[in-house]
Amino acid sequence: MTAAAQCIYPEVIWPLLLSLSLRKVAPSHGRQPAEPPLSVHGVRGLGLHRAVRGGGAGPGVSRGGVPAEPQTPLGRGGEEPQEAGGCRGLGGGEAVPARAQHGCGHHYLRCGGSLLPGSHVQAEQVVRACVENGAHFVDISGEPQYLETMCLKYDQQAAENGVYIVGSTGFDSIPADLGVIFTRDSLKGTLTAVESILTFKSGPLGTCIHNGTWQSAIHGIADQGNLKKLRKQLAYKPLPVVGRKLKRRSALSYSGEVEQYTIPFLGADASVVKRSQRYLHEYLQETPVQYSAYAAVGGLFSAVKLIFAGLLFAIFTKFCCGRNLLIKFPRFFSFGYFSSEGPTQQQMDQCSFEMTFFGEGYSPGKDPQQGAPDLKICTRVSGPEAAYVTTPIAMVQAAVAIQTEPGSLPKNGGVFGPAAAFSKTKIIERMDKRGLRFLVVSRTEA
């Protein structure tokens, strides 16, 4: 591996843009059409290396036209060359990719925060170009403001043009959204409520996350007022509560299931799952599943430290000078969890995650509106390091699902969450083979 590939992010890049072009090549001299090449744009260092390895790159992939090391093996998220074609990585750049304007036969995958200053404008330009020109679009951004704005502005036009715009296809929020689907399908009954508890594991060197995620969180919290206004414009109908109403845990509670204290998970998972469940209920008449997301934080001391940091974070994000301080000193204010350097390769190799789902429901033929649930199920989604290893596995398989299983996607195009787009595909099976595991832990009668 080259020194460049070992570097996490040599600089703070915004926005990170990964354009994934899956083009069918015209037949020549009676031969079968070549598989579509993959084009990687705008990611550097380890981000490029992971994307190329996870994107199905065979030997001799290139970045910006410069050949990479020959015989580079596929990463754990990789597609075999015969399935996803060759891959070519392009250097950075913030303009809308020209290929987004070429029309049908292209798929684009973008990674990076959408609430960093200026990047939301650029992100929307790419979405608009794809919608207008018939190119499918896969995005790992998990910010609810960005995802729901794209839904408000482009859902109808994307549906008219047969274009699939799928957001939050990385660690935010493939494990949660498709984990609920896996739990539902594994229950062998009617699933009505699910809780998930997220647990991170690290080795002796600890863990660290690049401060691009930290900055997205800062701007996301600061923009909460606009999110409320946006949801009023979307005019969502309340989802019906089927079965026993799911009781929310307190802000800090002890979980006997994972033997740690837990807090409500502040990521996009709950929002994304709810959007997908709304689509599945309103358009496919499926039973909506209630969902709550939590994160394990360890012992009492760790929980108190995290609550203190959270309060400080919430206060500072309300003021411009406070946000500037948070951005300038990410390691200090996050107790070392975020930094401008990001994790080392050794740290990533030692990290993993587990998301455990606790569901309840009703036996086949039993009315969920009558009596208490009589079925319980525990499932688990687990994988390697979340941000830089699991995310490429998930996002590449999302693109492959659009390419290889068009008949299993929603009938028309539109703007979707992962479960809404991929609940009928084989994406879970493919991710499971590549290290993102889906497992039934237990299934019992209540």
Q: C-alpha dihedral over 435, 387, 179, 143, to 10 degrees?
A: -160
| Top mean-pLDDT range of 123-132, 186-195, 296-305, 342-351 | 186-195
- Higher-pLDDT residue of 212 and 3 is 212
Is the C-alpha dihedral spanning 428, 275, 118, 8 positive or negative? negative
Token pair in block for residue 360 = 């309840």
Distances from the Cα of 259 to the Cα of 32, 241, 297, 303, 320, angstroms: 56, 29, 10, 13, 39
Query: 128 in the Ramachandran plot: left (φ > 0), alpha (ψ -120 to 50) or beta?
Result: alpha
Residue 239: which pLDDT band, with cuts at 50, 70 and 90? very high
Whether residue 67 is predicted with pLDDT greater than 80 in this model: the reply is no
158-189 confidence digits (pLDDT tens): 999 999 999 999 998 999 999 999 999 999 89
Q: C-alpha dihedral over 43, 49, 55, 57, to 10 degrees?
A: 120
CA 429 to chain centre: 17
Distances from the Cα of 418 to the Cα of 59, 205, 277, 353, angstroms: 30, 33, 11, 20
Token pair in block for residue 272 = 């994304």
Is the C-alpha dihedral spanning 104, 146, 191, 427 positive or negative? positive
- Find out whether 361 and 243 touch, Cβ atoms under 8 Å: yes
> For residue 110, what pLDDT is reported?
61
Lowest mean pLDDT segment, chosen from 67-81, 100-114, 369-383: 67-81
> For residue 79, what pLDDT is reported?
35
Residue 121: which pLDDT band, with cuts at 50, 70 and 90? low
Whether residue 378 is predicted with pLDDT greater than 70 in this model: the reply is yes
- Find out whether 393 and 174 touch, Cβ atoms under 8 Å: no
Residue length, the chain? 446
- Domains, the chain, ordered by start: 3-166 (no CATH), 174-386+430-445 (3.30.360)
Whether residue 99 is predicted with pLDDT greater than 70 in this model: the reply is no
% the chain with pLDDT above 70: 72
State the average pLDDT over residues 98-119: 52
Spatial separation of the C-alpha atoms in residues 237 and 222, rounded to whole Å: 26
